[in-house]
Every structure is written in structure tokens, then in C-alpha cells.
Structure 1
Amino acid sequence: MNGGLGRFVLIWLAQLVSLAGSAITGFVLGVRVYQLTGSATQFGLIMLSEAVAAIAVAPIAGAAVDRFDRRRILVASDVIAAAATGILLLLLAGGELQVWYVYPVAVITAACGTFRLITFTTMLPMLVPPEHLGRANGLAQAAMAVQIAAPLAAGVLLGTLGLRGVIVVDLATYGFALAITIALPLPAKARRGPGGTAEQPGAWAELRGGWTELRKRPGLVPLLWVLGAFDFCFGVAGVLIQPLILTFASPATLGLLMFAGGGGMLLGSLVMSLWGGPRRRMTGVSLFLAVGGIALALHALAPSPPLIGILAPAFLFTLPVVTGCVMTLLQSKVEPSALGRVMASARIVSQAATSLAYAIAGPLADGVFEPLLVSGGALADGVGDLIGVGPGRGIALIFVVLGALLVALAVVAARAKALRTVEDLPDLLHREGEPDAAELAAG
């Protein structure tokens, strides 16, 4: 295997395993909190606290990644997250675990996860030759598939190992990631970018450096808004797909369909890793936005598990392609010295859009759309004749609206001049002074 690609695969595997352990533990702890309190609000607060922590530390993480040794940041992130998880295990073993203890642990692990993700996406283009950047970004999206599949794995592990056993497995994944990160030889530019030796701006200027860099290049800020809009639609659908399925299927069927959806995303990641995406990245963005929108809207056709079993994987297949193409454009069109801060800006937009989706999806379904499609509701005649009336049909209508929004977004991505010409911006990743393919291969 090519040396650069081999190093990337090992770093990717370390991060994937660590993320899988954290996702499983996070799901199990959320279930435990709900079991102890019976409060959906308490359960939701865990997700909210994680989202707020991720947004809050992202600018700091971006500045740190551009300034300091990236290997050390990865190591520190895993050590701190493992320590917080270990304290939780000790409290559980001593019978002293209280619900409120879960929240600071969730905040710490979410913050560490943000440092880890931004560091990894910044290192990624320094670990692979330019011609393989799209493939590497496609493979990196497998992390999302792992998060979707986490509930199924968590259920199996919880039933066989118990809560303590699940946390021990999580700690073992941190150990695995640390061993690879520490032992693996890395090119100098992957460890520390050009910004590490240049004169540094003031603290505030550095924290907003990602946006400053993006605004220098027409089209990159609108590209981030496209990504944010896509993540918002994905977030709303992600919240509501489970209630939708449970209106016509059993929890066991729900688990199978969630697993199938994760499989669709994993397949998209693998296809993207082999294909690398189209030569014109914006073509891939607009095309797969449209495909995803159509698949999402078709969820409303009928309350049918086989239908969802086909359409959910089809929709989730598009996510690695869209995100991989956007990440490749961002990584190749900005100054390497500011790449960490740009990745932090992308993380903020993505996390903020997803958090907004989480906040409004439930009230939007329960308070607005579901009443429209009950018997005698305002849309029972007409729309109800097409997609049905009763429990879950209002959620189905939301899926139609989301699908239409994605198709409209695809049209904007294809026709807006700033977005169409973003690929004509000069590639800045492997200019003079940056590692070329030979250096990446030799390490």
C-alpha cells in the first residue's frame, strides 16, 4: 500500500474505533438517564449539552490545530476523554453514579471529540496525495454510519456486558486509538502546519480566522451554507424517522431499518472512497442533493417497512458523497496555514444546523404537521388523499417538505454563479513549500 495512504488508513481506523466506542457509550448513558428519570427533557439535555460544547470549543480547536503539534492534540483529546469516562466507571462501580454526573462527562467527551474531528480533517489532506483526496474524504464519512449503527450495537453490548462492560469497551477503544496515534510515523506537515512557525495574529483574530480565510475566496462561504442546509434537513429527518417508523412497525423492525440506513451510509462512504467523486465536485454536490431529496420525499408514499428499507439507505447513501465533495473543495481551496480554523468553521455551521434541527423537529411535528393530517384536519382532504391520514402522516408530510428543500438546494448549487465557479479557484493545498506526493509516500 502507498505509504501516505497506509498512514491515513491507520489514523482513520484509530479515530473510527474510538468514535464507535464513544457513540455506543453515549447511547447507553442516554438510555440509563431516561430509565432513571423517565424524562425526555433530561434525555434531550444530554444531546443539547454535547452540541453546545462542540460549537463552543470549535474555534479554539481550529486555532490550536493550526498552531500546535496535531499528534499531541489527538493524544490529549483521547487521554482527557478516557479519563472522564474512567471516572464515570469508578462512580458506577462504587454505586455513586447520579444522573447529573453524566452531563459533565458528556460535555468533556463532546469537546474532545470536536478537537479530534477537526484535527483529523486538517491532517487528512496532508496524509494523502491530491489525486486521492476525494477518496479519503469519502472514507472519512464512515464515521457517520458508525454513529447511526451505534444504537443496535449498544443494545447487543448492553444485554451481554451490562453498562460497566460497555464503558470498559469504550476505554479499550481509546487505548487502541492512542497506540496507533503515538506509534505511527507522520510527515512533518501533517503534524504541524505552516501556521505553527509564522507570526501569529491576536487571539480574537485567530479565533475568527476561518471565516476571514473563507471570505477571501468567493463561493466558499455559500458552499458552507449549502452544507449547513443539507445538515439541517438531515438532522430533522434523523430525529423524526424513528417516530415515523414506530407508527406502523415494531421496535424490532425499527432496529433493523436503522441498521439498513447505516448500511446505506457505509456503502456511500465505500463507493466514494473507491470512486473519489466526480472531477467537478459541485456537480456531485448538486446531483446527490437532488437524489437525496427525491428519496426523502418518497418516504411519505406509504407506511411500509419495505419502502423505508429501500429509501432510507438510498437517502443516507448520498450523505458521504455530498459531504466528501464539500470537504475536498474546502481542503484544497484554502491556505494550509488556516486549514484547521476553516475546518472549525465548517464544524460550527454543521453542528449549529443540526442542533437547530434537533430543537425544532419535535415541536414542528407534534404542534403543526401532525394535527394537519388527523381525521378532519386542515389537510386531511387533498394531501391526506395522497399520503394518508392518521398517526405519522404529518411527519410524512415533513419528509415531503424536506425533500423539496433539498431539490431546491440542488438547483441553487447547480445554477448559482459563485458556487458553479468555486472549483475554478486556485488549488492551494500542495503549492510550493507544501508536501508533494513523493514526500507523502515516503513520509
Structure 2
Amino acid sequence: MKAFWIAWAGQLISLLGSGMTQFALTIWIYRVTSRATDLALIGVFFMVPLLVMSPIVGLMVDRYNRKLMMMLSDLAAGATTVVVFFLYTSGNLEVWHLYVNAAINGVFQGFQWPAYSAALSMMVDKKQYVRVSSLLDVAGPASGIVSPILGGAIIGLGDAGGFDGLTIIMLIDIVSFIAAIASLLFIHIPNPDPQAAEKTRGEGFIQEALYGFRYILQRPALLALQSVFMAGNFIFSMARGTLLAPMLLARTGTNAWIFGASQTIGAIGMVIGGVVVGAWGGFKRRIHGVLLGWAMGFFGILITGFGRSDPSWMIGIWAVGIFLAALIVSLINASNQAIWMAKVPVEVQGRVFSARRLIAWFANPLAALIAGPLADYVMEPAMMVGGPAAGTFGWLVGTGPGAGMSLLFILTGFVGLAVSLGSYLIPLIRDVESILPDHDAVGAEG
């Protein structure tokens, strides 16, 4: 466990710096363009190369040094931040530069999650899978508590004091990447048994890269489980993943303090959720953590849609909704991760987990491409004063900038609740844990 804690601490520091930069650049982009679509495209340019590379990355994680894969992703992220720093300080940074930056990061960040997930199976005891998975989920939110506060404070003080807060934030980010890479240098991260991995090799590189998809397709219960995640991710990304930042910035006049507070509240919710799951261990039947977790998360999204900045007390509705949607994330992810870690042999987890991510996350860029233009060109104009939907829904979410996005939150919340609770009616999903044996009870299958 010592190696796990060192790696976890290094990533926590790195995520702190990355969170501050992401927070600051989100405000910078919205101040420049005032469009949700531009923010959505950052996610699209990040996700598409990450997903396209997933099968190849999974094969490399299974074949080669997992520690090297993890260091490579941190190094690439640090290098791209350096490039953005010099473009910004020289006065040449444009929004399209950030699209390119996101695409490069997407390629290299694809190594990190499969490598960490696969290495985790060999670093800790099986009984600790849910707990350490929840701790991995906590790392991002833990840094997220501090990064929006620091980022908002630095930007706010910079606006008031006449200095450039974004420059300082990116310098902090660069230092944090150095700390993450250094932490990996001092620990041993095990690699799979070459002889066991050799047994799963196909006739060529392409066949091996596709092994993860074949593995899942041959197990309908796993495919059904991951299909639920694909649907959940699509609905979740339509609202919280894509429109939360532009909705809040639009409804508050790009107020960095309120936006930062909302990010911090969400991060606190995720940390509390992760700590609770880590101490509790989750439901005995992991599928309850997945489906009930999704339902509670979508209820939080539904609540978020009712918030607004006028009257000021309704800002508290945002806080409740954001907190609830974030609180349950660790339970969902840790429960799902525990199922997959228990069912999939360690020597093929890199390929299978990459394929699993591609199936589940494919919906994210699609949701962003739909949600951004839908908000900018349909929902927002419809909910402006005098707009075609203002008379019908104005009493519910108000009118003006951000109201159309608020209405989308409510609609997606209802749809998400129906999908998550309705999945209990499908035996392949409901009984996935009894349908499939644990991998330590059977050998790897191809």
C-alpha cells in the first residue's frame, strides 16, 4: 500500500495544478466568446483522440512498462501547459490553440487511466479494490476543493490588483507536473506476468488491440453493464459535463467567485462521498451502487436546474444540486470498478479496460457536440424575455441568459432517473455479479 499512497499523493498535487489551470481557462474562454459551444468543443477535442487511441493504448499497457506509461501521460500534460503558458504570456493565445492542446492531452492522458487501473489490481489485495478505487476517485475532488478557491482568489485579486492571475496559475501547474513525475520515480509498480499475457496474444497488432472488445462482446452481462454507463454518461454530459460552467457563468455575469464556489462545493461532495465509500466499502451487491448511484446523481442534476442568481437565496439550490450529484460519483465509479476488477483477469485488464472506457465514454463528445449548439441556438434564445418558451417555462427557471440551459438540466435529470431505475428491469444488468464468475475462479478467456 505504501507505493499506492506515494503515487496517489503525486497525482493529487498534479491534479491541483491542472484544476486551477482548467478553472482559469474556462473563465478566459467564456469571457472571450460567451458561447457554451466553445467550452463544449474543448471536451470534444480531448475525448475523441483519447477514445480513438484506447484500443492501442490498452495493448501497450498490457505489453509494456505501466510505470513508464503513467509518467509519459504526466510529461505530455506538463509540456502542453508550458506551450500554452508561452502563447498566453506573448499575447498570441487563441481559442483554437486550446483545441489543439486538448487533443494532444487526450492522446497521452489515454495511457493514465488504464495503466493506473491495471496496476492497482496488482498493488493491493482484492478486498481493498472498492476502497482504493474510491481513493483514486477522491484525488480529483480533493484537489478540486482547493483549486477553484485558489484559482478564483488569484484571478479575483489579479483583476483588482492589476496583475495577471492566469500566468501565475499556469506556473503553479507546471511545478505540480514535476512533482507527479518525481513521485513515480521512487516506487515500484508491478507489470503483468509476460507468460500469462502471451497466452492472450492474437495473430497481429490489430487483433490484439481489438481483444478487449471481443472479450466484452463475448460476455453480454459486461456489455449490458457498460451500455448503462454509456447512456448515463451521455445524459450526464449533456448537463453537468457540458453546460454547468456556461450556465453558471451566464446566470451570474461571469462571476469567478460564484463559479469557483460551485466547483468547490462539487469537489467537497465528491471527497465526502469517496471517504464514506472508502470507510463503508459500498453495497455488498455492487450493482446497487451503480444503479442507485446514477439515480441519485440525476436527481441532483434535476435540482440544479431550478437554481438561479435572482433572488439570491436560490443560489443555494445550485449548491444542493451540485453537491448531491457529486456526492454519489465515488459510489458509482468504485462499485463499477470493483465489478470489472473482480471479473477480468489482470493480464488483460489494460486492453479490456480501454475497450470498456471507449464504450462508456463514446457518448461524452457526442453529448458535448449536441448540448453546446442546442443551448446556444435553441434553448437560450427560446428562454430569453419574449422567447417562444419563456411564457411556458419562465415561472420554473426564469428568463434571460442561462435560463435555457437550466431547463435542459431539468429535462436531462428526469430522463436520467428513468434510465438508471429502469435498468433494474433488465436481468443481464441486475444480476451481472452472479452471471459472471470472478477471474480468480477461472482462467483468462479469449
TM-score (norm 1): 0.84
Q: Is the 8 Å Cα contact of residues 218 and 422 (structure 1) preserved in structure 2?
A: no
Counterpart residue type for residue 279 of structure 2: L
- Kindly indicate whether residue 62 of structure 2 is the aligned counterpart of residue 72 of structure 1: no
Instruction: Report the more deviating stretch, 406-415 or 76-85.
Output: 76-85
Q: Per-residue deviation at 1:108? A: 2.5
CA distance in 2, matches of 1:223, 1:382: 38
Q: Is the 8 Å Cα contact of residues 131 and 277 (structure 2) preserved in structure 1?
A: yes
Q: Secondary structure at the match of 1:20?
A: helix
CA distance in 1, matches of 2:183, 2:46: 26
Instruction: Report the more deviating stretch, 394-403 or 307-316.
Output: 394-403
* Aligned counterpart in structure 2 of residue 142 of structure 1, from 128, 138, 142: 138
Q: What does residue 154 of structure 1 align with?
A: 151
Q: What does residue 186 of structure 2 align with?
A: 183
Q: What does residue 174 of structure 2 align with?
A: 171
Q: Per-residue deviation at 1:119? A: 0.8
Q: What does residue 362 of structure 1 align with?
A: 372
Q: Is the 8 Å Cα contact of residues 69 and 112 (structure 2) preserved in structure 1?
A: yes
Q: Is the 8 Å Cα contact of residues 54 and 351 (structure 1) preserved in structure 2?
A: no
* Aligned counterpart in structure 1 of residue 127 of structure 2, from 131, 152, 155: 131
Q: 1:411 to 1:72 in 2, by over 3 A?
A: same
CA distance in 1, matches of 2:384, 2:85: 47
RMSD (CA atoms): 3.3
Instruction: Report the more deviating stretch, 300-309 or 224-233.
Output: 300-309
Q: Per-residue deviation at 1:200? A: 4.5
Q: Secondary structure at the match of 2:235?
A: helix
* Aligned counterpart in structure 1 of residue 275 of structure 2, from 264, 270, 288: 270
Q: Secondary structure at the match of 1:219?
A: helix
Q: What does residue 227 of structure 2 align with?
A: 225
Unaligned runs of 5+ in 1: 435-443
Instruction: Report the more deviating stretch, 160-169 or 326-335.
Output: 160-169
Q: Secondary structure at the match of 1:184?
A: coil
Among all aligned residue pairs of Structure 1 and Structure 2, give the percentage whose two residues are the same amino acid. 27
Q: Deviations over 1:327-362 (max 9, x none)?
A: 211222123222111221232234332212222223
Q: What does residue 51 of structure 2 align with?
A: 55
* Aligned counterpart in structure 2 of residue 292 of structure 1, from 290, 294, 297: 297
Q: 1:134 to 1:216 in 2, by over 3 A?
A: same
Q: Is the 8 Å Cα contact of residues 219 and 418 (structure 1) preserved in structure 2?
A: yes
Counterpart residue type for residue 14 of structure 1: G
Q: What does residue 400 of structure 1 align with?
A: 410
Q: What does residue 390 of structure 1 align with?
A: 399
- Kindly indicate whether residue 311 of structure 2 is the aligned counterpart of residue 314 of structure 1: no
Q: Secondary structure at the match of 1:305?
A: helix
Q: What does residue 311 of structure 2 align with?
A: none
Q: 1:282 to 1:41 in 2, by over 3 A?
A: closer
Q: 1:27 to 1:51 in 2, by over 3 A?
A: farther
Q: Is the 8 Å Cα contact of residues 137 and 330 (structure 2) preserved in structure 1?
A: yes
- Kindly indicate whether residue 284 of structure 2 is the aligned counterpart of residue 279 of structure 1: yes
* Aligned counterpart in structure 1 of residue 433 of structure 2, from 423, 429, 432: 423
Q: 1:53 to 1:24 in 2, by over 3 A?
A: farther
CA distance in 1, matches of 2:390, 2:38: 34
Counterpart residue type for residue 106 of structure 1: A
Q: Is the 8 Å Cα contact of residues 233 and 363 (structure 2) preserved in structure 1?
A: yes
CA distance in 2, matches of 1:193, 1:414: 40
CA distance in 1, matches of 2:271, 2:195: 31
Q: What does residue 355 of structure 2 align with?
A: 345
CA distance in 2, matches of 1:388, 1:37: 24
Count of aligned pairs between the two proteins: 427
Q: 1:62 to 1:236 in 2, by over 3 A?
A: same
Q: Per-residue deviation at 1:67? A: 1.0
Q: Per-residue deviation at 1:166? A: 3.0
TM-score (norm 2): 0.83
Q: Deviations over 1:351-374 (max 9, x none)?
A: 332212222223323444445555
Q: What does residue 266 of structure 2 align with?
A: 261
Q: Secondary structure at the match of 1:176?
A: helix
Q: Per-residue deviation at 1:118? A: 1.7
Q: What does residue 440 of structure 1 align with?
A: none
Q: 1:197 to 1:185 in 2, by over 3 A?
A: farther
Q: Is the 8 Å Cα contact of residues 7 and 186 (structure 1) preserved in structure 2?
A: yes
Instruction: Report the more deviating stretch, 392-401 or 177-186.
Output: 392-401
Q: Deviations over 1:10-41 (max 9, x none)?
A: 22222232233234334445655677788876
Instruction: Report the more deviating stretch, 367-376 or 268-277.
Output: 367-376
Q: Is the 8 Å Cα contact of residues 45 and 99 (structure 2) preserved in structure 1?
A: yes
Q: Per-residue deviation at 1:65? A: 0.6
Q: Secondary structure at the match of 2:220?
A: coil
Q: Per-residue deviation at 1:135? A: 1.3
Q: Per-residue deviation at 1:233? A: 2.3
Q: Is the 8 Å Cα contact of residues 67 and 193 (structure 1) preserved in structure 2?
A: no
CA distance in 2, matches of 1:39, 1:291: 29
Counterpart residue type for residue 276 of structure 2: V
Q: Per-residue deviation at 1:281? A: 0.8
Q: Per-residue deviation at 1:224? A: 1.1
Counterpart residue type for residue 370 of structure 2: I
CA distance in 2, matches of 1:91, 1:376: 42
* Aligned counterpart in structure 2 of residue 327 of structure 1, from 337, 346, 356: 337
- Kindly indicate whether residue 6 of structure 2 is the aligned counterpart of residue 10 of structure 1: yes
Q: Secondary structure at the match of 1:278?
A: coil
Unaligned runs of 5+ in 2: 309-313
Q: Is the 8 Å Cα contact of residues 58 and 348 (structure 1) preserved in structure 2?
A: yes
CA distance in 1, matches of 2:35, 2:302: 32
Q: 1:25 to 1:111 in 2, by over 3 A?
A: farther
